[in-house]
Amino acid sequence: MSENPNLVELDITALAAGGRGVARREGKVWMVEGAVPGDRVLATAVRERPRLAEGHTVRILDQSAQRREPVCGVQGDCGGCPWMVLPEQDQRDWKRRVVLDSLERIAGLTDPPVEPVKPSPLDLAYRGKAEFSTGTDETGTVLVGFRHNRQPELLVDVAECPVIPETANRVLKEVRLMLGAPEEGGTVGLAGTRGRRLVLRQSAHDGGVLVIFRGQGREWAGPRRDMEKLAKTPGVVGVVALTGLPGRRGGVRSRLLAGRDHLVEALGGTLFKVPAATFFQVNPAAAAILVDQVVEMAGPVANGDPVLDLYGGVGVFGWALAAKGARVTVCEADPHAVAVGREGVGSPHHPTFACDDVGRFLGRGGPSQRPRLVVANPPRTGFGKGVAGKIAGLGSERVIMVSCDPGTLARDLKPLLAAGYRMIRLVPVDLFPQTAHVETVTLLQRG
């Protein structure tokens, strides 16, 4: 036992949703950042309640046999890839266990039909988007990197990142030089307070990179004199300034600085022109697995079958189902995503887009005809209030739920199960290797 009363020795036995190690001590459950099953660690609490403590690892006393050396030198401080110390198959096994635990504990299911996790085609260099904060070290040198895992007021300088593609890493080095950051990363300094961030987005379709200077309240356009030079850097297709506007619904203002203001992406057989501020899957190669699973779970689609795609974004699932002959309505609240979806190029059968909040859309009666199939891909927070009940009220034969959070999936399933739907299949997909995140595709059938 440690002599310091603020430090405790813990044996880590499991991993929890969110990626922290789990230990039990004197009737209390500990959730410990930086620890994996098999570790014996010295930990300190950052938050304690009567039966639960949240903490972080101060020192590993005995290392788990599962551990490996991470390929990133700042992995322990950056916090972006907490599971990089585990082999990928171990990561996927734990992700499946997290999904099972959520379904059993929250949804009350016994032995739910959860399949093995489908791996991402790439375990590294898969992220098409990376967002770097800016700051300075004690000498005033510019830093470009990620917030420190345990001290968010600090910034870990990053010269290259192993989970973004090679072209994006080359562009990162060019932009760092323009901003005055050191050639080598690894320095820790103060994070900036003006909300200035560098965002790199790379297309999986043609490899083009958008360089985005993101400001908050006031525009940040980077080193203005270098914009044309930056736009001519090999791999760069455009440079954009994005400014977050004040207020809860302030939105984002975009201004083209050089080149073009969008990426061209392909997913599910459809081409999309994606502007700098519009969401698109950051791992399109793995997202293609999601599309394939949705199309497979939809089953045979007769020509003109009505289908509803809720929280549809740019309509990736809607376009893929329309290509099969379905008459698809995509409901999405973000007007920028709707604009991108309407301009997609793929099947001659186009989905119809409704730019609306899903709850309001369903509350006004939703589609004119009862859909044979409902696809729902809500945000991490899950369905809005009453949405699950409204979906159940549509009486569709099948519901396919695409979720990025096992806990909210389990919560949203309960009213659908209570309304007479039963779970047929759940396929987890490893959309974000080296992290604790897991995407799921779930098929529900009525009756």
Annotated catalytic sites, by residue? 404
CB 14 within 8 A of CB 95: no
Angle between helices 406-418 and 88-105 (to 10 degrees): 40
CA atoms in the 13 A half-sphere facing the CB of 204: 22
DSSP state of 269: T
CA-CA distance, 342 to 340, in Å (whole number)?
6
The stretches of 354-397 forming alpha helices (DSSP H) are 358-363, 387-394
Angle between helices 387-394 and 406-418 (to 10 degrees): 50
At 10, which helix (H) or strand (E)? strand 7-11
CA-CA distance, 48 to 56, in Å (whole number)?
12
CB 436 within 8 A of CB 18: yes
CB 172 within 8 A of CB 161: yes
CA-CA distance, 197 to 184, in Å (whole number)?
19
Q: What is the dihedral of CA 104, 106, 108, 109, to 10 degrees?
A: -40
CA-CA distance, 347 to 320, in Å (whole number)?
8
Long-range contacts of 241-245 (CB under 8 A, 24+ apart): 241/212, 241/213, 241/214, 241/215, 242/199, 242/212, 242/213, 242/214, 242/215, 242/276, 242/277, 243/214, 243/215, 243/216, 243/217, 243/218, 243/219, 244/195, 244/214, 244/215, 244/216, 244/217, 245/217
Identity of the amino acid at 272: F
| 377 in a known ligand binding site | yes
Nearest Cα neighbor of 107 from 435, 444, 408 is 408
Q: How many helices (H) and strands (E) does the chain have?
A: 10, 23
Please report, in range form, the residues annotated as the binding site for S-adenosyl-L-methionine: 281, 311, 332, 377
Known binding site: residues?
281, 311, 332, 377
